[in-house]
Structure 1
Amino acid sequence: MTASITRCCRRLAEALFALCLAVSTALAADIDLRNVQLLPAEDGGLALSAEFGLDFNPRLEEAVGKGLALYFVAEFELIRPRWYWFDEKVAKASQTWRLTYHALTRQYRLSTGVLHQSFGSLDEALRVLSRVRHWPVVERDRVHPGERFDAMLRMRLDVSQLPKPFQVEALSNRDWLLDTDWKRWTLTVPAAGGDGK
């Protein structure tokens, strides 16, 4: 009897370990974040530049090639730490890109707001998507030179903007989970012309 219970507990432990391993693998990031800079902008605020390494899998390539629009969102937050109260969120910004393929023209289109660019290949479109340059994220009156903040940045595939059947599939299929973890760093606001890594 005791041997049977021990065997059962061992199998349960092995199953739980396999489940935990599968979940941790499913939550792994497929976008790398590199070369993040927060520099003074021309208007006196702060502008962000960063590079993302996008690891596009065959399932996503096929989905775009068949006309499905994919939405990518970059999110930024600037937080002022306070020892006497909750931290203060000084700035929050997000930018969305829409990636589509047009079969008639055989071109990929990358859109943000009313602006769009067309590309002859998916690699070209992803190269442009992976580089954010001079994105104004903090207004001039929100920060002053010498102040210290915690900054956070991430990019993700926004599955909430997919058609409903794909949203359901994204819940159980790792191929649709494309994102970074929040990258956090401490920032001292530079004077004009300074570096804000």
Structure 2
Amino acid sequence: MNRSEKRIAAFLMCLIIGVSAHCPAMAGDARLTNIIVTNTRDDLLIYLSVDGAFTPKIEAAINSGVPASFSFFVKLYRTRGMWFDKEMTDLTLTHTINYNSLKKEYAVSRSWDANSPVIVYSLEAAKKLMTEIDSLKVISLAQLEKGRQYQIQAKAKLSRVTLPYYLHYVLFFLSLWDFETDWYTIDFIY
């Protein structure tokens, strides 16, 4: 190996180490927390929140006007022992945040919330709205059988940002702040 090949190899190694060192810090810390499955008289409800979803780079991008969307996936199965589980419901929810720098306000749209979009004036309040699901109706209790075992799974993902074509070259770094949590599972008997 001659001297220029060694330099190229060293540069590529530094580049690979540098990129891999940043990715886990940006995306690996997000997780679902405070998952609660409960019921009202008529419905099965879920509460959950995401911790570690907002890195400084995501916050800076949002404050510069780049919209961000979180997708939440909630699935309910009736477990059947030695047979395939029966899927009872499969929900996909989307939370989107937009910052209006002229009005200095954040608009948070939540696909499952009738009062959407919600306008708030601080990033902390917007982050709370973006990362929490409270009293989401999963399924009617009339569709569940008493004494049967069920399993609810939940996951969150930062959806890819859709930018105008001319910004793809300027903001290429945004692909580095995608995150996806693991599936979280709760077993229960109704």
Structure 1 169/152 Cα, relative in aligned 2: closer, same or farther at 3 Å? farther
Q: State the AA in 1 paired with 2:117.
A: H
TM-superposed deviation, 1:73: 1.1
1:136 aligns with 2:137: yes
TM-superposed deviation, 1:148: 0.9
Q: Distance in 1 between matches of 2:26 and 2:143?
A: 34
Q: Distance in 2 between matches of 1:183 and 1:38?
A: 12
- 2:46: which partner in 1? 48
Q: Distance in 2 between matches of 1:30 and 1:147?
A: 35
Structure 1 28/102 Cα, relative in aligned 2: closer, same or farther at 3 Å? closer
Q: Distance in 1 between matches of 2:85 and 2:139?
A: 17
Q: Distance in 2 between matches of 1:27 and 1:100?
A: 21
| Contact 1:54/1:126 (8 A) holds in 2 | no
Deviations 1:173-196 (A, max 9, x none): 53x22221111121222xxxxxxx
- 2:38: which partner in 1? 39
- 1:71: which partner in 2? 69
Mapping of residues 1-197 of structure 1, within 5 Å: 22=20, 25=24, 29-42=28-41, 44-113=42-111, 115-159=116-160, 162-163=162-163, 165=168, 169=172, 173-174=175-176, 176-189=177-190
TM-superposed deviation, 1:145: 3.0
TM-superposed deviation, 1:77: 0.6
| Contact 1:36/1:50 (8 A) holds in 2 | yes
Please list every run of 5 or more consecutive structure 1 residues that lacks an aligned counterpart in the other structure: 1-14, 190-197
Deviations 1:140-186 (A, max 9, x none): 33212332112110111111x522638x947x953x22221111121
TM-superposed deviation, 1:122: 1.1
Structure 1 86/123 Cα, relative in aligned 2: closer, same or farther at 3 Å? same
Q: Distance in 1 between matches of 2:188 and 2:159?
A: 28
| Contact 2:76/2:153 (8 A) holds in 1 | yes
- 1:192: which partner in 2? none
* Structure 1 residue runs of 4 or more that deviate by more than 4 Å after TM superposition: none
Deviations 1:14-72 (A, max 9, x none): x8xx88xx499489533222221111134x22011112213412221122112111111
Please list every run of 5 or more consecutive structure 2 residues that lacks an aligned counterpart in the other structure: 1-12
Q: Distance in 2 between matches of 1:27 and 1:181?
A: 15
Structure 1 182/38 Cα, relative in aligned 2: closer, same or farther at 3 Å? same
| Contact 2:26/2:55 (8 A) holds in 1 | no
CA RMSD of aligned residues (A): 3.0
TM-superposed deviation, 1:102: 0.4
Structure 1 142/27 Cα, relative in aligned 2: closer, same or farther at 3 Å? farther
